[in-house]
Amino acid sequence: MAEIILCEPVELYNLLNQTRTVPRLAEINYLCLIDAQETHDFLTGHIITAKHVKTAGDGTFYLPDAVQLDTMQNVVIYDATTRSLEEEAGRAIDCAQELGKSYYRPIKILAGGYRLFSAIYPFLRTHKILYNIWELENLKLYPLEIIPGALYMGDLKQSQGSLSDLKIRAIVSISHFTQSDFSESEKNVRKILDIPLADEGESDLYSKFETICNFISFHIEEGSRVLVVSREGTSRCSTVVLAFFIYYFRYTLEEAWTYIIKCKPTVRPNTGFLQQLCQWEVLAIGKKDTDLSKPPFL
């Protein structure tokens, strides 16, 4: 019997926007997103790529034949409004209990259901029911949300054309591209901090940490949303976000890593940047608390 746990809207948002060479939603066993609403509610609107679960005459829930639940890495179920696992009635929980009889990984219930998720992320709701592989490989992806409603990180492809939806007002660009990579409308309404730097071990990002962290904290504290972007969104981008968590929250490097990797499992600063983060840890919190020779840094 699968364990049933709660999933916050930001967790599902980040699951939907993970990418490798293509969106992870194109991987057949990556995510099974189940809409447990009544049929007419599902047809009115649902979250992208969601599959509708139906009920038999005896109330039993069943999925389309093509869905092999036991092979899925992630299973998330939602209804209209279920907010907690303590609620006595709710189609999402009833569905999870039924489907969990033949699944061994945790099943997640989306907190607040479709109504809350679609209110926070209206650009991720749709009426589309079926997707072919080409459509999944070419889905529009958004930057990952690291601090809900405040800090985002992503690659250049995720960032282009998505900033208005996310209401991002400030950008930290860590790469060999500048404002010309963003549209005129984006440049005119946003503050961009350009740090053109190669993703190489000898590149000096350490000397820029204070400027970058001050920029991010200033904009977050005035209520603006900030995006950190690099071309691949893996090394330079991750390094900057880790540095900000060390600076702003006084996290150790390991604590920052543990938090951020839940949002983006492909966090991977190069070796030189990791050394610079260790130096930054000493400066920001007054001690070296991280051993790069041990997990999770190996």
**CATH number of the domain where residue 151 is located:** 3.90.190.10
How many domains does one find in the chain? 2
If asked whether residues 161 and 106 sit together in one domain, one would say no
Is 293 part of a structural domain of the chain? no
Q: What is the pLDDT of residues 241-292, one digit of tens each?
A: 999 999 999 999 999 999 999 999 989 999 999 999 999 999 999 988 888 8
Pair 215, 175 in one domain: yes
pLDDT tens digits along 38-60: 999 999 999 999 999 988 777 77
pTM for the model stands at 0.93
The answer to whether residues 83 and 23 belong to one domain is: yes
pLDDT digits 0-9 by tens, 177-186: 555 555 555 5
Check residue 179 and give its pLDDT. 54
Of 93, 119, 137, at which residue does a domain stop?
Answer: 137
Listing from the earlier edge strand, what are the strands of the sheet with 31-35?
Answer: 4-7, 107-110, 74-78, 31-35, 51-52
- My answer on whether 123 and 10 are in the same domain is yes
In a shared domain, residues 125 and 217: no
Domain boundary at 137, 160, 191, which? Answer: 137
Question: Cβ(162)–Cβ(140) under 8 Å?
Answer: yes
* Contact criterion met (CB below 8 Å) for 236 and 199: yes
Q: Which residues of the chain have pLDDT under 70?
A: 66, 87-89, 176-190
**For residue 66, is it within any domain?**
yes
Quote the domain boundaries for residue 25.
4-137
Where among 93, 122, 137 does a domain terminate?
Answer: 137
Residue 151 corresponds to which tokens in the numbers above?
A: 């800090």
Report pLDDT for 204: 95
Which strands form 144-147's sheet, in the order they lie side by side? 144-147, 151-155, 225-230, 168-173, 191-194
Residues 86 and 186 in one domain: no
